[in-house]
Chains A and B, each alone.
Chain A
Amino acid sequence: MRARQDPDKHAVEGTLDGDTEMFAHIVLRHQRGLSGFCGAMLCGEGGEDAAQEVFLKAFQALHEFRGDSAFSSWLYRIAFNHCSNLKKSLARRRTCSLEDLSPQAREKAMAAPAATPDGAPELDALAAAMARLPANYRLLIALHLQGKDYAEIAEVAGISVEGVRGRLRRARLILRRGLHRLLPNEVIK
């Protein structure tokens, strides 16, 4: 149960009452978290642009926010859907553009370094490790990196707190496998 007062409630009500300046409070409160979240969801590509789009979408859909959950959970849910759609369309565009190439160019492209499962170009090791996670695991890690607790993560992901605990453990196992060589020697078991 959510006993604490939603800090965004006042700003949401004010914006809906016609004071669009009140939306600035929401943006200022969530911009860093949301940019970081989108960056992690998109594996380091265009998190900032995605966060801007998410804020605009949230503004346009603000009247649909019913207050059943915390406003931040609603906002992060929009961000998750936006990033998922963005990744899908990015992967589709890359596949299409490969089909449009001439046979020689296609051969050259195929010989290039292996892409991540999402079809993104070679990323740094951390971004690549994130890209290897299934989207629903990446969601939990991205929220956790923004300091969200299990209850908040559960609200955004639409699963139980126990579900969060289990999935987070599995996500970390996958990440650790991918990042093992990057960890300092003194911490590797």
Chain B
Amino acid sequence: MRNLCKDLEAYHDGELPPADQRHMREHVKNCPACAAELAELRAMESMLTARFKDDRDISAAVLSRIPKTAPQRPAGYFWQGWWKVPAMALASCALTLVLLESGLIPYNSYMLTAAITGQREALKLTGFLFGKPQVEDDKLLALLFDGGEK
């Protein structure tokens, strides 16, 4: 069974959940030690509250000393938006990745086309100069662009 006595101060301060407050109320009725401690706690706090209570109205005194001009809002410092730089960079990277993955940016196929076309031109020149047979790479291009259907 839970030791309820250790929650006595939280009960006094009204910091327990409603169900626990109810359990504690019942417990205090049946526990002389907790009842005595609670009474002492209440007596001490009511003395302190009464001693340090201050009901005097100081509003007129305060308001007479308040300047008539409002405190200025800060213009904002240059470093206050520093987080926007990495945030924007991250957002750009994410967007680029999405576009690449969705195929909206034909990055890979163009690069490959350029590389293979360059290689084919070089091989043509080699064949023309040295009479070597030209490497047939049209099949490779067809495979890349048409998914190997041709």
Interfacial residues, chain A to chain B (CB-CB below 8 A): 15-20, 23-24, 27-28, 31-32, 35-36, 39-40, 44, 47-48, 51-52, 55-56, 59-64, 124, 126-127, 130, 141-142, 144-145, 149-150, 165, 168-169, 172, 175-176, 179, 182-184, 186-189
Contact = CB atoms under 8 A, between A and B. Distances in A.
B85 interface: no
29 contacts: A19-B70, A27-B58, A28-B59, A31-B62, A32-B53, A55-B58, A56-B65, A56-B66, A59-B66, A63-B72, A63-B74, A126-B48, A127-B51, A142-B52, A145-B48, A145-B52, A149-B13, A149-B15, A150-B13, A165-B15, A168-B9, A168-B13, A175-B48, A182-B47, A183-B40, A187-B40, A187-B42, A189-B37, A189-B40
Nearest to A19: B70
Interface in B65-84: 65-74
Contacts of A35: 54, 56, 58
Interface residues of B, number: 40
Contact of B71 (A16, A48, A168, A169): A16
B69 to A, nearest CB: 7
B55 interface: yes
Contacts, number: 121
Nearest to B7: A165
Interface of B: 9-10, 13-15, 33, 36-37, 39-45, 47-49, 51-59, 61-63, 65-74
Nearest to A35: B54
Contacts of A142: 52
Contacts of A169: 9
Nearest to B53: A36
A172 B9 contact: yes
Contacts of B43: 183-184, 187
Contacts of B37: 189
Contacts of A189: 33, 36-37, 40
Given A31-B59, A184-B43, 5 more contacts: A27-B59, A39-B54, A40-B52, A165-B10, A183-B43
B70 A32 contact: no
Given A24-B63, A145-B45, A183-B44, A31 B58 contact: yes
